[in-house]
Chains A and B, each alone.
Chain A
Amino acid sequence: MTAPNSTAGIFPLDKKGLLKAYRTMRTIREFEERLHADFAKGDIPGFVHLYAGEEAAGTGIMMHLEDKDRIASTHRGHGHCIAKGVDPNGMMAEIYGKVTGSCRGKGGSMHIADLSKGMMGANGILGAGAPLVCGAALAAKYRGDGAVAICFVGDGASNQGTFLESLNLAAVWNLPAIFVVENNGYAESTSRDYAVAVDSYVDRAAGFGLPGVTVDGLDFFAVYEAAGEIIKRAREGGGPALLECKMIRMYGHFEGDQQTYRAKGELEDIRANKDCIKMFSQRVTEAGVISRGELDAIDREVVAEIQQAVASAKAAPLPTAADLTTDVYVSY
């Protein structure tokens, strides 16, 4: 049975929006779970850093964005790409290093970009996205098109000079720039307690004259509400802001990380009790606006899509030696 369509006064999105959010989060999860399995088999070149467990944050923010809005991602960028609308087929091929990839197989996991979708790139250099976002936000302000630019950093990269200088620049120029700190508690394996002197990111933002908000990054609706208000504020000329999402990654810093810094049973507890997609599903089905059957149907479609993406990626050709010298410089 299909549940009723009206969500007015019950959820901040209509049913179509809720289904889109679920599909995005499930696509990210399936994409990452598949990479986890295939990386272990040795199928994938280079490094991968998985976003599984953190889907609610990227999705809750990106649901408010259009193609004209720009984002700069991190080394853990697959989730941001998918949520921003980058084609998972191109992404998978990119990660496999194939010529059909988003960047023709030359970027790999940490450099997926698609400017047509406003995705300026994942970035292997920690904190490097922040100045890029200031530039994109300045361009948006200059054009006056109401676009915003959003920079994602982890709790580790939030200590980088680039990030701190960008907070200052964004405040000085009153840019429509938003800084999202995805705080999963560990900079690689270093706990935040050891590495961040100002323990509150809201305080850090205040130090540069920006408002800051902390939300439970596992709760899609908490992120969606807070990001919505911050993005609206920036579009209206209210200037930059910082959003801290407290979240948990389900896998290691990189694939192969043994996670010896975690307590015994911590990962099992995360899977069982702190899975943001399970929490979302429970909310919408209990409220009766979406049925379990509707979610199951999306699950099946997503699994098939990712299966197809992997098959296409494996079948696609590698770049040739002649491709080495293309895309190095912009053609004028």
Chain B
Amino acid sequence: MLFMTTAIGIIANPVSARDIRRVIANATALQITDRANIVLRVLSCVKACGVGKVYMMPENGGIRHHVRRGIDRAENQGLKHFPVLEYLDYKISGTVEDTFRAARLMQEKGVSAIVVLGGDGTHRAVVTACGDVPIAGISTGTNNAFPEHREPTITGLAVGLAVTGKVPSAEAFLPNKKIVVRVNDQEEIALVDVAVVTERYIGARALWRTETFRELFVTFADPEVIGMSAIAGLLSPVTRLDPGGLHVRMAPEDEANIILDTPIAPGYMRGIGVRDYTAMKPNVKYRPSISDGSIALDGERELSFTRDDDVSIELIPDAFRTVNVSGCMQYASRHGLMRVNQKINA
């Protein structure tokens, strides 16, 4: 009989929530020890659901040292709280390449899901490289429109229930949209928003100079999130499960039809000049309205383009799967999955 241990991957980014928004917008800086504690919480929850093996992305940002201490302490006490933990073996670059590489290797190792600790940028990097492996996001970044906000213990439990088959696939996972941006032969993705700005440099990456904003494409628009997608969310909400997205054209305030007061970073309210907004159709290539500028993916400037470049922006439905944390926990309750021993009739 072939016995396979259910394995998952964890990619915890040590450098998310470190950018300029700590100064311009009083954003949170989640400490390394807190991130390690989140990893330990997830590890013990997936173990409780029957996950035997976890692969982690190696990093030199300090998370692994704290995780190791937690695991060593449990082992010294003879406790079996944690699954077998293995760090992927490669030379750490300290850049986003580590995330790409970890996601690819985890897929090759056949993990059933990848838990991601980071902001929108980290999630985007994992989705770029993880193929068809479902992900579960935990917000440790700055704006975090993509990962839902909840206690990581619950995310860990839901992942454990989903990957061990205790919750059937149809209920355990959800489809997600993405936007593909192509500049000539280069292809990048965004999970939430693509912004076109006039600036021609990457710099501190975050977007806060509203006068440079020209266009916004979003996969979903939630008025309860912050960041660029909040602009769309406050204009016309679109859910994660709706087939299309929203396309917003922006302009300097004197040329705008609407000035929209928007939290584009934590606690950072700015008036955004909006020209108009329309539905963004799936599988249709849009061209930016300006000939020269930069493209921000999920709130961070990543690409620059000129009039000589061929640029397209396309929304792809059903592009990747996420663990349906809420669905898993509701199912667990309805079907009594967490009732280990019941002596009375409920």
Q: Which residues in A have some Cβ–Cβ distance to B below 8 Å?
A: 9-12, 192-193, 198-200, 202-203, 206, 211-215, 219, 221-222, 224-226, 229-230, 233, 241, 244, 246, 263, 283, 286-288
Contact (Cβ within 8 A) A199 B61: yes
**A212 & B32 in contact (Cβ 8 Å cutoff):** no
**A-facing residues in B1-39 (Cβ within 8 Å):** 14-15, 17-20, 22-24, 26, 29, 31-33
**Given A199-B60, A200-B31, A203-B31: A10 in contact with B202 (beta carbons within 8 A):** no
Question: Chain B interface (Cβ within 8 Å of chain A)?
Answer: 14-15, 17-20, 22-24, 26, 29, 31-33, 60-62, 65, 91, 94, 198-205, 211-212, 292, 304, 306
Highest count of chain A CB atoms <10 Å: which of B14, B23, B91: B23
Secondary structure class of chain B's binding surface, majority of residues: loop
Specify which chain A residues have a CB less than 8 angstroms from the CB of B23 in the assembled complex. 211, 213, 226, 229-230, 233, 241
> A199 to chain B: which residues have CB within 8 Å?
14, 32, 60-62, 65
A202-B29, A206-B29, A286-B306 as given contacts; A222 in contact with B22, CB under 8 Å: no
Chain A residues with Cβ below 8 Å from B65 are 199
Please give 7 more A-B residue pairs, beta carbons under 8 A apart, in addition to A213-B20, A287-B201: A199-B60, A200-B14, A206-B29, A213-B18, A213-B22, A241-B23, A287-B304
**What's the least CB distance linking A12 to chain B, in Å?**
7
Let me know if B60 and A12 touch, CB within 8 A. no
Say how far B303's CB is from chain A's closest CB, in angstroms. 12
In the complex, are the beta carbons of A202 and B22 less than 8 A apart? Answer: yes
Q: A211-B22, A211-B23, A212-B22 are in contact. Are A203 and B32 (CB under 8 A)?
A: yes
B304 & A200 in contact (Cβ 8 Å cutoff): no
CB of A229 within 8 A of CB of B24, answer yes
Residues of A within 8 A of B204 (CB): 215, 221-222, 225-226
| Cα distance, A229 to B32, chains bound together (Å) | 24
A interface secondary structure, majority: mixed
Q: 10 A-B pairs, CB-CB below 8 angstroms? A: A11-B199, A11-B201, A198-B62, A200-B62, A202-B22, A213-B23, A214-B15, A215-B204, A219-B202, A287-B292
A226 and B24 alpha carbons, distance in the complex (Å) = 9
Contact A225-B29, Cβ < 8 Å, known A199-B60, A214-B15: no
Chain A residue contacts of B24, Cβ below 8 A? 229
Note all chain B residues with C-beta closer than 8 A to A230. Answer: 23
Q: Is the CB of B61 within 8 A of A9?
A: no
What are the residues of chain B within 8 A of A263 when measuring CB–CB?
91
Task: Report A-chain residues with C-beta under 8 Å of the C-beta of B26.
Answer: 211
Chain A nearest CB: distance from B266 CB in Å?
Answer: 12
Establish whether residues A211 and B29, one from each chain, have CB atoms under 8 Å apart when the complex forms: yes
* Chain B residues closer than 8 Å to A200, beta-carbon distance: 14-15, 18, 31-32, 61-62
Name the B residues within 8 Å of A193 (CB-CB).
60
